[in-house]
Amino acid sequence: VEIFRTDYEPLPHAVTKINMDFNLNDRKTIVTSELTIQPNKLYKGNSKDLPLDGEEKIVKLLSLSMNGKDLKEGDDFTLAPGKLVIKNPPAGAVLKTVVELVPEDNFKLSGLYKTGPMYCTQCEAMGFRRITYYPDRPDNMAIFEKVRLEADKKAYPVLLANGNMIDNGDLDGGRHYATWTDPFPKPSYLFCCVAGDLGKIHDTYTTMSGRKVDLQVFSESHNVHKLDYAMESLKNSMKWDEDRFGLEYDLDLYNIVAVDSFNMGAMENKGLNVFNTAYVLADKDTATDSDFERVEGVIGHEYFHNWTGNRVTCRDWFQLTLKEGLTVFRDQEFSGDMNSKAVKRIEDVRALRGGQFAEDAGPMSHPIRPNSYISMDNFYTATVYNKGAEVIRMYQTLLSVEGFRKGMDLYFERHDGSAVTCDDFLAAMADANGADLSQFSLWYFTNGTPVVTYDAKYENGTFTLLLTQKSKSDKPLHIPISVGLLDKASGEEVVPTKVLNLKEMTQEFKFDGLKGEVVPSILREFSAPIKLISASGKEDEEALAYLAARDTDGFNKWEASQKLFTSLIFQAKDGGMTEKTYGYVKEAFGRTLTNKESKDYSIIAYALIMPTQNTLAELVDVVDPVAIHKARGAVKKRLARDFATELKERYDELTAAMEGAEFKVDSESIGRRRLRNVCLGYLCEIYETPEEQKVASEIAMAHFKNASGMTDKAAALGALASMDGEGATARDEALEIFYNDAAGDFLVLNKWFTIQAMADLPDALDRVKKLKEHPDFTLKNPNRCRSLVRAFTANVAFHDESGAGYAFLREVLEELDTLNPQISSRMAGALISWKKYNEKRGLVMKAELQKLADMKPISADLFEIVSRGLK
C-alpha cells in the first residue's frame, strides 16, 4: 500500500511509557511489553481505538491483557495482518503483551536479529513492529522506563540497551540479566538492545558544563585493536558540537557496538549506536585513508543525531530529511573542520553528482521531502540525505554562519523533546533571522536537479551576469549563487565572494566600478545543488583554464579543471580531441603535477583525477557507458604518455618522502598517499607494448609489496587487477597474496571482492560469477553482497551489450529478495534508469526489470523500485 504525506493524522491515543523484558533463548525469544496508554490531545478525529503495529508472522502473540485482565478478540481487540487494534482503552490503561520471536531466522536485519556472536536490533524505520506490538511511528514518543534483558551468561556476557544500567545480576541455570532505563522520551525507531560476547575499549569525556561521560566502543574481541580511531573521532565530535552549536551530550554513558551484518552505515539509537563494522573499525593495515575518513564522518554523524534526530525528531517519515539532511550537513562541516574544508567540499560534490544527480534524473526522482512511499526503507536516499544536506547548507549560505546558529538555537528552544516537521525547521530559521524564507521552502517540494544558465558580459567598467533558472517547480526557486570576479589582466580578485539571491526565473546582476575585463567565478563552493551551464551551450575554455590556474575559491579552481577534462572527454567520445582543448588540459595538468610549492597534496590529487564515469553519464541525454569509458581512457592514456617523465619523477619523490617516515593518518600524509596513488594510476595506463606492460606491472607490484598500509596496498591491487598480457602473472600473484594476508578479515576480504568486481578486464563478468561461488561469498551479509554484486554494477562490463551483466544482476536479485528486501531493492537501482541508455541496452534492462516485477512472491521494497522503473 502506498502512503501519502498529506494523509498524516495524529494517533487517538499515545503510549507514554513502556517497560520491556527480553528473555533470550536459542531460537525462542520471549518479549513481554507493558504499555501505558493516554488519550492524545493532538487528535481531532472520532476514533476511540488504538492501532498497534506488529508483523504477525514475526511476532507471535502469546497473550494480551489490559490492567491485569485478559482481552477478548472481537470485543476488546481485533487482529488483522500488521495491525492489532485495542478498542477504547481507558486513560492510563496498562496493556501487556507477550510475544515470541526467532531472531536467528531474521535475515532482513530489521527488528531483533542475530549476527555473529550477538543479538542486536535495528528499528529504523519500521523494525520495532518486528519486536513487539506498538504504535511504531516517530510521533509517539515514550519513556522506556525499564528494559530488562535476560540471557545465558557465558554466551552473552554483555547486555546493553538505551540509557543507563540500573540493575544487573546472576540467575539460576547460568543465566544473568541487566535492566536499563532511558530518561529521555523517544520514538520506537531509536530503541536498541544488544546481547553478546564482546570486547570493548573505554574512555571518558568531560562536557563543557563539567559532566563526566563514560564512552565505550564494543566489537567482537578479535577486532578490539581496531576501535581506537572511532573513540578518538567520538571525542572530537563531542567537542565540535559544543564549540560550533553549543550542544552537549545528555547521558552519563555513550555506547557504540560494531556488527558485521547491517543494512546501512550505522544507527543513532539513544545512547547505544550500532555500527556496520565497515564504518567503525580502522587500523592502517586493514583500512584505507578513505575508510578512516568515513569512520570519522559516520561517528560524527551518529553522535550529532543525538540533538538533530533524537532530542528533536521527525513527526512522520516524510520529514526524514529534517534529521538526515541536517545531520549530514553537520557531519560534513565537522569533517571539513577536522581536515581540509576544500577537500571535503570536493569529495561531497563528487558524491552528489555521481549518485544524487542520477537518482534525481531517473524514475526514483523525489523531492527531499517525498510525497509518498510504499516502503519507507526505499527513501533513505542520496536525495533525502545528500541533497537534503545541500538545502541545509543553502540556509547557512543565505543567513550566514551566525544567522544559521541563531536559527538552530531557536529550533531547539522551541522543539526540544518533540517530533516536528521540516516546516518547523524553516520557521525557526526564518524567525530567528527576521528572514522571509517562503520562497526558499519550494526546495522541499521540488524534485529534479535545477539548471541555471548564465550569460556574462563586460562593458565600460560594468560586469553583467544574466542568470536564468529552470526546474520542475512552476514558480522560481530561491537559489543562492556565490560569485567572485578576477581581473583578467592582473589575475587579482577584484570582487570577493558575494551571494547573489536568484529569485526570479531570469534575473540580471550588475557589478560596476571595475577597472577592466574580468573573469567570473560562479557558484563558488558549489553554493546550490544545481547544474550551471553557459547560455551559449559552450564553455569558455580560455576562462576555465584561467580559473583552473588562479581562482581563489578552492572548489571552483578544481571545478574549472574538471570542466576542461569533461570537454576533452566528450570530444574524444564524439570524434576526437581538439588540440586546443587538449592544450588547455595539458597545461593545467602539467602545472598541477609539477607544483612543488603546495603541501595540499589532496587538492593536487583531485585536480588530476578525471570526472567519474557517473558524473560524465549525467551530462548526456543518451548514455553509452562503453563509449564514455573508452573516451575517458583515451584522455588518461594520452596524458600519461605526455607526462610519463613528470609522473614518474613525482611518484619517486613522494616514495622517497614516505620512506622511513612514521605512518600517520593526518591530512598531509593522506594527501601524499593519495597523490602518489593517482600517479601510479596514470603510470599504469601506459600499457600497450609487452615491454610497457612489464614495466607497469613491475611498478604496481613494487608498490603492492612495499605498501605502508592498506591505502597503498589496495591502490596497487586495484591497478594490478585490471592487467592482462604481460601483467597477468603479477595480477594473479598479488590477488593471492592479498587474499592470504587478509587471513579471513571480513572487511579486507570485502576489498578483495570489490577490486576484482571493478577490474577492467574483458572477462570481468565470468570472474564475478566465479567469485559468487567462492566459499567466502554469501548473500546473507549485506557488506559482502555489495562488495561483489553492487561493485560489479559500477564496472563498464556490467553494461556489455549482450545484456549478460543485467541478467546476472536479475538472477542475484531474485535470490536475494527472499532474504533481504532492503538490499535487493537498493541494488535494483542499477537497472531502473534504462531510459537513459541507448535503445539496445535500455530494452534489455527493461526486460530484466519486467522479469523481476513478475516474480512471485516479490517484496514490497523491490516491487516499489521495479514498478517505478517500469512506469
Which is closer to ligand ARG, CB of 301 or CB of 393?
301
Asked if 158 contacts 272 with a C-beta cutoff of 8 angstroms, the reply is: no
Retrieve residue 260's grid coordinates.
Answer: 558485521
Q: Does 268 bind ligand ARG (CB under 6 A)?
A: yes
Determine which residue in the list 149, 267, 352, 797 makes contact with ligand ARG, applying CB under 6 A: 267
Asked if 117 contacts 108 with a C-beta cutoff of 8 angstroms, the reply is: no
What is the DSSP annotation of 265-280? SEE--TTEEEEEGGGT
- Torsion sign (Cα): 68, 69, 70, 71: negative
Determine which residue in the list 31, 50, 125, 198 makes contact with ligand ARG, applying CB under 6 A: 125
Q: E strand or H helix at 256, and its extent?
A: strand 253-259
- The piece of 259-267, 394-402, 716-724, 842-850 that touches ligand ARG (CB under 6 A) is 259-267
- The piece of 89-97, 264-272, 623-631, 692-700 that touches ligand ARG (CB under 6 A) is 264-272
Residues 318-337 that bind Zn ion (CB under 5 A): 324, 327
Determine the size of the site formed for Zn ion (CB under 5 A): 2
Contacts for 721 with CB less than 8 Å, ≥ 6 apart: 731, 734, 735, 755, 756, 758, 759, 761
Which is closer to ligand ARG, CB of 376 or CB of 804?
376
Binding mask 243-282 for Zn ion (x = CB under 5 A): ----------------------------------------
264 interface partner picked from ligand ARG, Zn ion, none, CB below 5 to 8 A per type: ligand ARG
Binding mask 208-237 for ligand ARG (x = CB under 6 A): ------------------------------
> Which residue bears the cell 563498464?
796
318/242 Cα distance (integer angstroms): 29
Asked if 363 contacts 871 with a C-beta cutoff of 8 angstroms, the reply is: yes
Which is closer to ligand ARG, CB of 263 or CB of 286?
263
743/8 Cα distance (integer angstroms): 52
84/82 Cα distance (integer angstroms): 7
In DSSP terms, which residues pair with 79 in a beta bridge?
A: 84
Query: What 8-state DSSP symbol labels residue 786?
Result: I
Which is closer to ligand ARG, CB of 263 or CB of 697?
263
The residue among 792, 794, 791, 808 whose CA lies nearest residue 845 is 808
269 interface partner picked from Zn ion, ligand ARG, none, CB below 5 to 8 A per type: none
Asked if 300 contacts 233 with a C-beta cutoff of 8 angstroms, the reply is: yes
Which is closer to Zn ion, CB of 267 or CB of 569?
267
696 interface partner picked from ligand ARG, Zn ion, none, CB below 5 to 8 A per type: none
Residues 808-867 that bind ligand ARG (CB under 6 A): 822
Binding mask 334-373 for ligand ARG (x = CB under 6 A): ----------------------------------------
Q: Let me know if 302 is a catalytic residue.
A: yes
Asked if 676 contacts 651 with a C-beta cutoff of 8 angstroms, the reply is: yes
532/523 Cα distance (integer angstroms): 8
- In whole angstroms, the minimum distance from the beta carbon of 262 to Zn ion comes to 13
Which is closer to Zn ion, CB of 326 or CB of 639?
326
390/332 Cα distance (integer angstroms): 10
- In whole angstroms, the minimum distance from the beta carbon of 125 to Zn ion comes to 12
Which is closer to ligand ARG, CB of 125 or CB of 437?
125
- The piece of 258-266, 456-464, 580-588, 762-770 that touches ligand ARG (CB under 6 A) is 258-266
Which is closer to ligand ARG, CB of 111 or CB of 554?
111
- The piece of 57-65, 266-274, 453-461, 852-860 that touches ligand ARG (CB under 6 A) is 266-274
- In whole angstroms, the minimum distance from the beta carbon of 703 to ligand ARG comes to 35
- In whole angstroms, the minimum distance from the beta carbon of 305 to ligand ARG comes to 6
- In whole angstroms, the minimum distance from the beta carbon of 623 to Zn ion comes to 31
Q: Does 124 bind ligand ARG (CB under 6 A)?
A: yes
546/537 Cα distance (integer angstroms): 19
Q: Does 302 bind ligand ARG (CB under 6 A)?
A: yes
Asked if 852 contacts 828 with a C-beta cutoff of 8 angstroms, the reply is: yes
β-strands 118-122, 111-115 pairing: antiparallel
- The piece of 262-270, 563-571, 727-735, 846-854 that touches ligand ARG (CB under 6 A) is 262-270
Which is closer to ligand ARG, CB of 469 or CB of 822?
822
Determine the size of the site formed for ligand ARG (CB under 6 A): 13
- Does the N-terminal peptide bond of residue 125 adopt cis geometry, omega within 30 degrees of 0? yes
Q: Does 324 bind ligand ARG (CB under 6 A)?
A: yes
485/497 Cα distance (integer angstroms): 8
29 interface partner picked from Zn ion, ligand ARG, none, CB below 5 to 8 A per type: none
- In whole angstroms, the minimum distance from the beta carbon of 190 to ligand ARG comes to 9
Residue 703 one-letter amino acid: H
Kindly name the residue from 268, 302, 618, 692 that is annotated as catalytic. 302
Which is closer to ligand ARG, CB of 301 or CB of 799?
301
- In whole angstroms, the minimum distance from the beta carbon of 124 to Zn ion comes to 9
Please list, residue by residue across 33-65, b when 16 or more beta carbons sit within 10 angstroms of its beta carbon and e when fewer do.
Answer: bbbbbbebeeeeeeeeebbbbbbbebbebeebe
446 interface partner picked from ligand ARG, Zn ion, none, CB below 5 to 8 A per type: none
Retrieve residue 297's grid coordinates.
Answer: 564522518
Asked if 98 contacts 63 with a C-beta cutoff of 8 angstroms, the reply is: yes
Instruction: Note the residue count of the chain.
Output: 871
Contacts for 809 with CB less than 8 Å, ≥ 6 apart: 789, 792, 793, 798, 827, 830, 831, 848
Beta strands in 433-487 (DSSP E): 451-459, 462-470, 479-487
331 interface partner picked from Zn ion, ligand ARG, none, CB below 5 to 8 A per type: none
Beta strands in 318-439 (DSSP E): 372-373, 419-420
Which is closer to ligand ARG, CB of 280 or CB of 483?
280
- In whole angstroms, the minimum distance from the beta carbon of 276 to Zn ion comes to 13
Burial of 661 (0-12, 13-18, 19+ CB in 10 A): exposed
Give the CA dihedral 743, 744, 745, 747, nearest 10 degrees.
Answer: 130
- In whole angstroms, the minimum distance from the beta carbon of 264 to Zn ion comes to 9
The residue among 439, 502, 494 whose CA lies nearest residue 466 is 502
The residue among 491, 525, 495 whose CA lies nearest residue 509 is 495
In DSSP terms, which residues pair with 500 in a beta bridge?
A: 481
Residues 12-71 that bind ligand ARG (CB under 6 A): none
- The piece of 34-42, 260-268, 280-288, 492-500 that touches ligand ARG (CB under 6 A) is 260-268
129 interface partner picked from ligand ARG, Zn ion, none, CB below 5 to 8 A per type: none
92/3 Cα distance (integer angstroms): 30
* Region of residue 620 (phi > 0: left; psi between -120 and 50: alpha; otherwise: beta): beta
Asked if 357 contacts 846 with a C-beta cutoff of 8 angstroms, the reply is: no
Which is closer to ligand ARG, CB of 325 or CB of 681?
325
Determine which residue in the list 380, 463, 738, 863 makes contact with ligand ARG, applying CB under 6 A: 380
Q: Does 264 bind ligand ARG (CB under 6 A)?
A: yes
610/212 Cα distance (integer angstroms): 48
Q: Does 296 bind ligand ARG (CB under 6 A)?
A: no
Determine which residue in the list 331, 360, 377, 692 makes contact with ligand ARG, applying CB under 6 A: 377
Minimal CB distance residue for ligand ARG: 380
Which is closer to Zn ion, CB of 327 or CB of 527?
327
Determine which residue in the list 106, 140, 255, 263 makes contact with ligand ARG, applying CB under 6 A: 263
**What residues make contact with ligand ARG under the rule CB under 6 A?**
124-125, 263-264, 266-268, 301-302, 324, 377, 380, 822
Active site residues: 302
**What residues make contact with Zn ion under the rule CB under 5 A?**
324, 327
